[in-house]
Amino acid sequence: MDDPGQKKIFLTSLALAAAFVTLAGILTAAHITLPPCLFFRLTGLYCPGCGGTRACIALLHGHILQSLIYHPVVLYGTAIYTVYTACNLLALFTKGRHFPLRGMAYRDIYLYIAVGLIIANWILKNILLCVCHLAM
């Protein structure tokens, strides 16, 4: 990780992950529920983010398949972040001496895949809701 910009992105991502896990732990422990989706209440259709909160909670409880069903982008993001963090921590601690990897850099393709998953999930859930009358 020779680029100072990449190092800043990495350190920021570590701080954001710690904040997310802390907040999720507080919300889960306090049994705080979030309000229902306004988009769903107004239109009767799922929004692109519907299921994201449930997917995060399911993943925090170790229910990987359930998290994938609720919203696949949560599991995808977690997998990408885990690999990113592991590679960059190894590169940072070994400074490239015993580990040939230089760290994983941000690539736009990761974002494009995430957007594709969100759109595909949104369309599929609304087709199942409108055509098959299956509520997810």
| Residues, the chain | 136
The answer to whether residue 112 sits within a structural domain is yes
The answer to whether residue 67 sits within a structural domain is yes
List pLDDT tens digits, range 4-27: 666 777 778 788 888 877 877 776
Helix axis angle, 4-29 to 52-60, nearest 10°: 80
The answer to whether residue 136 sits within a structural domain is no
Q: Which helix (H) or strand (E) holds 87?
A: helix 72-94
Instruction: List phi, psi (to 5°) of 49.
Output: -100, -5
The answer to whether residue 135 sits within a structural domain is no
pTM above 0.85, yes or no: no
**Would the CA dihedral through 112, 113, 119, 123 be positive or negative?**
positive
Residue 40 corresponds to which tokens in the numbers above? 């769903």
**How many domains, the chain?**
1
List pLDDT tens digits, range 70-126: 999 999 999 998 888 888 777 777 776 665 566 677 789 999 999 999 999 999 999
The answer to whether residue 19 sits within a structural domain is yes
Domain limits at 82? 4-130
CA distance 27 to 16: 16
